[in-house]
Structure 1
Amino acid sequence: MSTRAHAVKTAETTTIPGRKHYLTRGTGAYRRASLALFLSGFSTFSLLYCVQPLLPIFSQEFSVSPAESSLSLSLSTGFLAVAIVCAAAVSEGLGRRSLMSISLVGAALLTIATAFAPNWHLLLVIRAFQGLVLGGVPAVAMAYLAEEIDPRGLGATMGLYVGGTAFGGMSGRVLTGIFAEYLTWRPALFLIGAIGLAAAIGFIALLPPSRNFVRRPGFDPRFHLKAWLSHLSNPALPFIFAIAFLAMGSFVTIYNYAGFRLVAPPYGLNQTELGLIFTVYLFGIGASSIGGLLGDRIGHFSVLLFGLALTAAGSALTLAASLPVIILGITVLTTGFFMSHSIASGLVGKLAHGTKGHASSLYMLAYYVGSSLMGSAGGWFFAVEGWAAVVIFTLAMLALAFASARFAQQFARRKA
């Protein structure tokens, strides 16, 4: 008789003797975990990206260039990338739930502190430190889901988590834009920090304790190095990491510099109008969940390739002069990106062999390094050759991401 036939289903989990105690769809614990992780994604990304609609304001108020103003975001994502690698190791000893809780509360308090920064350099220091603190959430959240959720429902749950990140990214941008229009940017950041703190408290109250995580007291550098190297030697995973770097780099580049284009003539949008454009993130929320469900049913790589193609199509549409077509392009780009990201992040858990937290940390490292480096590099293209150069830059990255997905698909099939 098969192992699955021996599975014993409890009120909250599916227990496979000698193996795992998974949270299964339809149970109270599953719903609490899903909502808690949604809140973590919301809080993380609203706090991280709340400064994006403020870049033109920072450029004017602090007399810095567009590329320099993007440092308020790029420094956060860059330090976040470094912190994510350390977070995987720290969570092995501290625990997934504890580390995520500390990170969410700390990041919310730092966002409140940003509102009181007296000068540009101190603002950048606080944002950089915020990136370090936030590193305790993204990779660890993915590892928690991969360890605790029944694999048969992992795609849907990962899609919901990524949907939370999309909702947070939208809310942080939209609300900051509206608050800044009527209250100026300092009260705007204060309010975003307060909202993030409330979400962190909800996360702590809802998330069930880990059942399948085994704590490793102390810090063994050899263990962690061996774990990271084992994932890099997996023939498929480095290509998934490349997709994270390239897709996120292209996505952030478009969002960083679209604001500079749209506040200038002939569009002349104000902060509220610019912020409202980010409501297209709603399409990202739906695309994340739908992408996860479709991946579970028709194949993850098929949906991944479609999502990347959709992202490229959206980027190309922003070349139009018409404002409605530009907004349509941003909508299509957002839909394709979040569909791709939900699938790629889920594939990390499926393709990794053991130490899933380390595999997730490498994925998120690539994700945020792409955001930091490519997001700032896009400013050079914008300054030198304008919007057309920005789009060509993003399309080149997406072409490489598509090729990486095909290579990963081939290696995954050989493994199977």
Structure 2
Amino acid sequence: MSSPPASPGDTDLHLPGTPGFKRLNGAMVLAGLAAFGMLYAAQPVLPQLGEEFGVGPGAASLTVSATTGALALAVLPAAWVGRRWGRGRTMRWGLVASVVLTAAVALAPGFAALVVLRVLTGLALALVVGVAMGHVGSEVHPAGLGSAMGLYVAGNSLGGVLGRLVTAGVSDLGSWRGGVAALALGAAVATAAFWRLLPDSVEPPDDLPGRDAVVERGVGSPVALAALLSIPFWLMGGFVAVYNYLGFRLSDPPFELPPAVLGLVFLAYLAGTVASAVAGRAADAFGRPRVLTVAVLVMAAGTALTVPDHLGLVVAGLVVLTAGFFAAHAVASGWAPVVGGAASGRASAAYVMAYYAGSSVFGLLLGTAWTDAGWDGVAAAVGALVALALAAVVVVTTVLRRGPRGGPDASRHAREPGVL
């Protein structure tokens, strides 16, 4: 029996094991390193920012929420720019602008100027983060999409931990300004390497006959897509809130950890680096619903472990929570262009927008839970967000197994791990 004919342009996409696939993955890991280091540059020094500028924890966290909020608002325009100007060029110049703005943050004369610079940084980073997932989805052959997206998310988590370690470590030796400046320097090096390594685009043109077939068996279900896009909103909201307010908890009694030691807590991100890469491959092999459900439940378990006032349990819980979150993110982000069908690029952009909207909204709102009920309040709120995400997973899976269009393809979609 002969193999089915390849879709037009399908063979041009990067296949696993090819030089282009390796270069693309390496470049996207570098983009994640630089972008996510800069995105959360203020998070490990929130207590120092509050002390220098005389603002409380909720206001200090605005230096994170304002950045992610600006990024969320700019994602769809950034995706449009990427399509018109070229995704590779857009990401390159977005990283350059972000490096310049992060260096300027280290010189901010006051809190208002600091927040404005962080907003501008979020807008610049949208040109990277808002385009990256769509770029991977458009350049990589369906056979390697899960693993490629997992590696990109692994780079995100690695950038998060390295950025936080640099900022926290240098700030403990001098000031938070020195920490942010050192981070900007590291991001500049990663940007230069990304600029050189990123391969030329191989994405088939939009008007190529059969172009939609190049997208991995897109299922195009609006209900499933809406439920799927809510998952990063809930999960990222809870995740960023944990890291925003954990620093305040661990710097207060009974822990009273100094800034450099607090920075080491972010090593938990390494669990996310490993988990996202593993989850991406597992989703290709076993199906997205199973892996995503397990990942969300792991995040819930990690949240519960952080509640007791025992440093070992708090750290263990943070590791488990981080692994679960990044595994879920890797799977859900790779699922978005599939559920989006022919609108795969816009689905990826909408996913990123929902992701950072959750970060901005709940990263700020859960400051009330911290102020009113301490860590117990934060953990309870995060638990509720995780429960909403789990319900959304059930909705996506149920809708797709019944058939994205209610037709005879329902059973086929339910059987294929690459789709579900």
- TM beyond 0.5: yes
Deviations 1:195-244 (A, max 9, x none): 1111111111111111125379xxxxxxxxxxxxx999612111111001
* Matching residue of 2:215: none
Q: Please give the residue correspondences for 1:393-408 in structure 2 after superposition, counting only pairs within 5 Å.
A: 393-408=381-396
Match of 1:24 among 5, 15, 18: 15
> Structure 2 regions of 5+ residues with no counterpart?
208-217, 405-412, 414-420
* Matching residue of 1:349: 337
Structure-2 separation of matches of 1:89 and 1:179: 38
* Matching residue of 2:212: none
Match of 1:410 among 382, 394, 398: 398
* Matching residue of 2:318: 330
Q: Please give the residue correspondences for 1:1-80 in structure 2 after superposition, counting only pairs within 5 Å.
A: 4-7=3-6, 16-17=7-8, 19=10, 21-80=12-71
> Structure 1 regions of 5+ residues with no counterpart?
8-15, 217-229
Structure-2 separation of matches of 1:19 and 1:290: 26
Instruction: Give the counterpart letter for 1:291 in structure 2.
Output: A
* Matching residue of 1:298: 286
* Matching residue of 1:205: 196
Structure-2 separation of matches of 1:93 and 1:176: 35
Aligned length: 394
* Matching residue of 1:11: none
- 8 Å CA contact 1:139–1:357 kept in 2: the answer is no
2:247 aligned with 1:273: no
Seen in structure 2, the aligned counterparts of structure 1 residues 133 and 333 have a Cα distance that, compared at 3 Å, is same
Percent identity of equivalent pairs:
38
- Please report how far the alpha carbon of residue 89 of structure 1 lies from its aligned counterpart in structure 2 after TM superposition: 1.2
- Please report how far the alpha carbon of residue 157 of structure 1 lies from its aligned counterpart in structure 2 after TM superposition: 0.8
Structure-1 separation of matches of 2:83 and 2:47: 41
Q: CA RMSD in A?
A: 1.7
Deviations 1:86-129 (A, max 9, x none): 11111121011011111111101110010011111101100000
- Please report how far the alpha carbon of residue 361 of structure 1 lies from its aligned counterpart in structure 2 after TM superposition: 1.1
- 8 Å CA contact 1:231–1:237 kept in 2: the answer is no
| Stretches of 4+ aligned residues off by more than 6 angstroms | 230-233
Match of 2:369 among 355, 373, 381: 381
* Matching residue of 1:225: none
Structure-2 separation of matches of 1:90 and 1:143: 12
Structure-1 separation of matches of 2:266 and 2:220: 35
Q: Secondary structure at the match of 2:13?
A: strand
Instruction: Give the counterpart letter for 1:58 in structure 2.
Output: L
* Matching residue of 1:190: 181
Instruction: Give the counterpart letter for 1:368 in structure 2.
Output: Y
* Matching residue of 2:88: 97
Stretch moving more, 355-364 or 26-35: 355-364
Structure-1 separation of matches of 2:314 and 2:152: 28
Seen in structure 2, the aligned counterparts of structure 1 residues 215 and 123 have a Cα distance that, compared at 3 Å, is farther
Normalising by structure 1, we get a TM-score of 0.92
2:353 aligned with 1:365: yes
Structure-1 separation of matches of 2:385 and 2:242: 12
* Matching residue of 1:133: 124
- 8 Å CA contact 1:243–1:405 kept in 2: the answer is yes
* Matching residue of 1:150: 141
- Please report how far the alpha carbon of residue 6 of structure 1 lies from its aligned counterpart in structure 2 after TM superposition: 4.2
Normalising by structure 2, we get a TM-score of 0.91
